[in-house]
Amino acid sequence: MRALLLLALTAIIIVAQDHPSSKLSGQTLDLTSEPAVIQPEQQSAILYLQKDLDQTATDHVYVPNDVENECIYKVSQSSIDTDVHSSIQKIINESSCSSIEISLIDKEHDEQVNISRRMSIAIDVDARNTENELIPTIWKVQRYYSQIISLQDSNLTLCNIAFQFTIVYSYGNLVVSPSNSIFYLSNNNSNLTVKNCIFKGFGLNRTEIGSIAYSYISNQLEFDNCTFSDIVGRNALNITDCSQFIAKNCKFTDIVGRYYSGAIYFYCSSTKSVTYDISGCNFERCSNEQRDNSRNISGAINIRNMYESQAPIFKINNNYFKDCLGSNRGCINIEYVTAYILEVQNNTFDGNRILSSNT
Confirm if 353 and 325 have CB atoms less than 8 A apart. Answer: yes
Residue 342 has pLDDT above 60, yes or no: yes
Is residue 291 assigned to a domain?
yes
Is residue 55 assigned to a domain?
no
pLDDT digits (tens, 9 = 90+) for 2-43: 444 444 433 343 333 333 333 443 332 333 333 444 333 333
pLDDT digits (tens, 9 = 90+) for 122-168: 999 999 998 989 999 999 999 999 999 999 989 999 999 999 999 99
SS3 readout for 118-168: CCEEEEEECCECCCCCECCEEEECCCCCCEEEEECCCEEEEECEEEECEEE
- Segments in the chain forming alpha helices (H): 88-94
Mean pLDDT over each residue of the chain, to the nearest integer: 81
In whole angstroms, give the CA distance from residue 59 to residue 63.
12
Is residue 193 assigned to a domain?
yes
How much is the pLDDT for 163? Answer: 97
Quickly count: other Cβ atoms within 10 Å of residue 206's Cβ: 11
Confirm if 315 and 341 have CB atoms less than 8 A apart. Answer: yes
Is residue 267 assigned to a domain?
yes
Nearest Cα to Cα of residue 198 among 278, 138, 262: 138
Q: Tell me which residue range forms the domain holding 244.
A: 3-46+63-354
- For the ranges 148-162, 256-270, 312-326, the lowest mean pLDDT is seen at 256-270
- Omega of the bond prior to 178 within 30 degrees of 0, cis? yes
Is residue 29 assigned to a domain?
yes
**Between these two residues, 51 and 221, which has the higher pLDDT value?**
221
How much is the pLDDT for 312? Answer: 85
Is residue 52 assigned to a domain?
no
How much is the pLDDT for 70? Answer: 76
How much is the pLDDT for 318? Answer: 97
Is residue 56 assigned to a domain?
no
Would you place residue 268 in the very low, low, confident or very high pLDDT band (cuts 50, 70, 90)?
A: confident
Is residue 54 assigned to a domain?
no
pLDDT digits (tens, 9 = 90+) for 42-68: 332 222 223 333 333 344 444 443 345
Domain count, the chain: 1
What are the residues whose beta carbons fall under 8 Å from the beta carbon of 283, sequence distance 6 or more? 252, 263, 299, 300, 301, 319, 320, 321, 322, 324, 331
Confirm if 146 and 110 have CB atoms less than 8 A apart. Answer: no
